[in-house]
Amino acid sequence: MAVLTSRFADGLAVGSDLVIAAETAVRQALSGLSGPPDLLCFFICGDDPDEVSRAGLRAMRMAPGAEVIGCSATGVIGDNQGVELTPAVSAWAASLDGARVTSFVLETLRMEDRFVIIGLPDRDPDDRVAVLLADPYSFPTDAFVENSADVLGNLPLVGGLANGMGGQGSVRLFAGGEMYTEGAVGVMLSGSIDVSTVVSQGCRPIGPTMVVTRSEDNLLLELAGQPALARLEDIVSALDEEDRELVAAGLQIGVAMDEYAEIHERGDFLIRGILGIDPEREAVAVGDVLDIGQSVRFQVRDAASADEDLYALLDAHVEQRGRIDGALLFACNGRGSAMFGSSDHDALAVRDTLGAIGMAGFFAAGEVGPVAGQNHVHGFSAALLVFSSSNGSGGAKAARGAR
């Protein structure tokens, strides 16, 4: 059943016939709009990549006057619920009141000793945000996103890494009436549109914030003048048994995004994984390159922390933004039932905090969203693109903690 709004609406259909499911979900979304759609996004979970292709091509034909993008996934979100590992289609439609919507297709070309991305639309001063859907097997998403400021300036990127039930080779991307099996697709939103972002990384800090005093590439050698491994062991030894189990299940580290802040709170860190330890060098290997002088804090992630983080960020966003009309949600495929015991958790959190809005999305193999104004690829996160009633700003803003 579609969520009825004046400008945004969603639809969800579950069923083994993906073409019929696509027709149903898109029809629900389109029928919820009070005017013609400017943008249609859809997400398809299915066992057979060929049927996913047919369903996507059918969905694109149902909104001939709109820009349309979509992708395959291992789970979809719509109608205030999530559906994982089951044939289903979710759709999201928007009437954007005169904003410009430009879809694009990105390709990777090899030129001598480097790769070049082609297909980005020319930038305009009033560009507000770009939505990105990428094939993780063929498109260098991490490198593209982490270096996006070189080409896109401060433009926020929000989206997710597509996937398919068959893994590599089963990903399908859709844009401009065509289907693609590699690369990335997306849409640029420009002009008079009030958009903002929320990225919930779902972690809880342990131990103190410490300054990196020695590092080598992605090896953390010293923290606050002491061997990094010794610092970590001291922190873990002071934890209770429950938190020690969380450390063993998957320790994380938060990199402070504002070195000048007196206190680093929720949302002030970019979360990266701990890859392992080097006992001989008393070092900790991190899933990023850390520089001397950066502030870091070890983190753990569990369902309770992730739940608290998402609700807190969404509540803060509503307090700042006021009325919210629609949203796109890109949730990690490691969340849902694997983390919360329910596929519906993130969708219900959005409904509980943002209200009965037009909202849809998918379970991604990696999420894209800005933290402290810089675009990053995340894991185990929930990234949202939020559409608000115009407050005269006409630009993308970030609530405190929703960075």
pLDDT tens digits, 317-328: 999 888 899 999
Give me the mean pLDDT over the 366-389 stretch. 94
Where does the pLDDT of residue 269 fall: very low under 50, low under 70, confident under 90, or very high at 90 and above? confident
Where does the pLDDT of residue 268 fall: very low under 50, low under 70, confident under 90, or very high at 90 and above? confident
pTM: 0.90
pLDDT value at 402 more than 90: no
Give me the mean pLDDT over the 187-194 stretch. 96
The confidence score (pLDDT) of residue 397 equals 39
The confidence score (pLDDT) of residue 25 equals 98
Alpha-carbon span 293 to 390, nearest angstrom: 41
49 with 21: CB under 8 angstroms?
no
pLDDT value at 393 more than 50: no
User: Average model confidence (pLDDT) for the chain?
Assistant: 91
Alpha-carbon span 135 to 170, nearest angstrom: 10
Share of the chain above pLDDT 90, in %: 83
For the chain, the structural domain boundaries read: 8-200+305-398, 204-300
pLDDT value at 260 more than 70: no
The confidence score (pLDDT) of residue 267 equals 65
pLDDT value at 2 more than 80: no
The confidence score (pLDDT) of residue 115 equals 81
* Tens digit of each residue's pLDDT (9 = 90 or more) over 86-116: 999 999 999 998 899 999 999 999 877 778 8
pLDDT value at 127 more than 50: yes
36 with 7: CB under 8 angstroms?
no
The confidence score (pLDDT) of residue 97 equals 85
Give me the mean pLDDT over the 325-342 stretch. 96
Give me the mean pLDDT over the 169-176 stretch. 97
Give me the mean pLDDT over the 231-248 stretch. 94
Alpha-carbon span 345 to 233, nearest angstrom: 34
Give me the mean pLDDT over the 155-168 stretch. 97
Give me the mean pLDDT over the 115-139 stretch. 95
The confidence score (pLDDT) of residue 266 equals 63
Question: How many whole angstroms from its chain centre is CA 157?
Answer: 9
Write out the E strands in 176-243. Answer: 178-180, 184-190, 195-200, 204-205, 210-216, 219-223, 226-227
CB atoms within 10 A of CB 169: 12
Picking from 251, 342, 349, the residue whose alpha carbon sits closest to that of residue 302 is 251
Q: Which residue has the tokens 């005093």?
A: 213
Give me the mean pLDDT over the 48-68 stretch. 97
The confidence score (pLDDT) of residue 16 equals 96
Picking from 209, 213, 208, the residue whose alpha carbon sits closest to that of residue 226 is 213
Lowest mean pLDDT among 137-141, 219-223, 399-403: 399-403
Share of the chain above pLDDT 70, in %: 93
Where does the pLDDT of residue 391 fall: very low under 50, low under 70, confident under 90, or very high at 90 and above? very low
